Amino acid sequence: MAGNSWLGKTQWLIAAEQPPHFAYHAFWDLLMNWTGGPGKREDAGAMVEKYGTWNDYWEDKKPKLRNIITPMYATASFSSRLHTEGSLRGFQLSRSSEKWLRRIVTQEWHDIYRPENVDDMQRFFDKYMLDKDNGWEQTPRVRYSLLGYNRPSIVHISADQFPPARFRYDTLFLDAASGTLGYNKPSTESVVECKRICPLTTDARSPTPSRRRVRRATQYIGPNGRLRASPRAIPYKSLEDLGSDEYNKLMGPAYVYHPHTATQPLRRDQIVELDISLWPGSIIFDPGESMRLEFAGQGQILQDFDGVNEHLHDNTALSTGYSCP
């Protein structure tokens, strides 16, 4: 089986059941959690209203990734804010001993139809479907890429694992007083309030040149994460055959799992600590360029289609951030 998006996540649901006729699979950018759509499937919107927190109903939509043992050809892009997290998490948590990952720097549909990529996947199919001795097993297990903004991207860097062995975690501390990130903890407690500021002289939603410029500037905003404060709880995470320590070693210290099984609404003026994972990315920074961390009380991404961003926003309070020594 092969395909991207919902065709990819369907493969995971099938592979997790380990049917005897399912021999291999290849997916291009997909989600990990399955929800139904209109027609003769569940009405996902109505079910969200009925079950607003994670329960057995939603758990049944999620593939059991640790049950996946078949050979795997996986890709993950930077462009899809919908698929990147699911692709990488599934690749890491599956128990397939023969699996390959390729990070791509273009939009997934562009990548999947390029002749060289079709040929690459064909070699994978020929190996496991026709038992051809084509040297596929010599293909690097991970081919990652670095996204360039002011220079060409670097593609298909070979590695034996994901993240690559040369990957290093750094801890940065936010200083709200100076608005900076640094390697040292701030010496005093500081507060910053998030306000809506729009310096445009025209309506950002009107069909004017200003809107088009804003869209181009924010087409890819870099790794981002999102979390409502009320489902902030973090459990002792383990899987059936993977203890908490093994799970954390596999996923890394920067990954945070929120079960969303219950809510803890904030009281007025209550200060809580939030752990929010940033979705993985790989970006080339040239000398003189910098990294910016943004906080907001709502989604900051301008959608490509009208109506997509018109979801419920019932957060009317002013967002306040605190940094502490």
Kindly report, residue by residue over 76-115, the tens digit of the pLDDT.
887 766 677 778 888 888 999 999 999 988 878 888 889 9
Q: What is the pLDDT of residue 56?
A: 92
CA–CA dist 24, 2 (Å, integer): 9
Q: What does pLDDT average to over the chain?
A: 77
At residue 201, the pLDDT reads 36
User: Looking at the DSSP assignment, which residues form a beta bridge with residue 147?
Assistant: 283
Residues 240-244 have a mean pLDDT of: 71
Contact 31, 83 (CB under 8 A): yes
- When mean pLDDT is compared across 124-138, 207-221, 285-299, the lowest value belongs to 207-221
| Higher-scoring residue by pLDDT: 123, 177 | 123
Task: Dig out the tokens for 34 from the structure.
Answer: 């399955």
In this prediction, what percent of the chain has a pLDDT beyond 90?
A: 18
My answer on whether omega of the bond before 163 falls inside 30° of 0, hence cis, is: yes
The pTM is what? Answer: 0.79
b/e sequence 153-174, b meaning 16+ C-beta within 10 Å: bebeeebeebbeeeeeeeeeeb
Task: Find residue 157's DSSP bridge partners.
Answer: 144
Over residues 188-206, the mean pLDDT reads 52
Question: 3.30.200.20, 3.40.640.10, 3.40.50.1580, 3.40.50.1820: which CATH number matches 2-159?
Answer: 3.40.50.1820
Where do the structural domains in the chain lie, given as residue ranges? 2-159
Q: Per-residue pLDDT tens for 248-285?
A: 788 888 888 888 899 998 888 888 888 888 888 888 98
> Which tops the pLDDT comparison, 27 or 4?
4
How far apart, in whole angstroms, are the C-alpha atoms of residue 62 and residue 257?
15
Residue 305 has pLDDT above 80, yes or no: no
Query: Would you put residue 46 in left (φ > 0), alpha (ψ -120 to 50) or beta?
Result: alpha
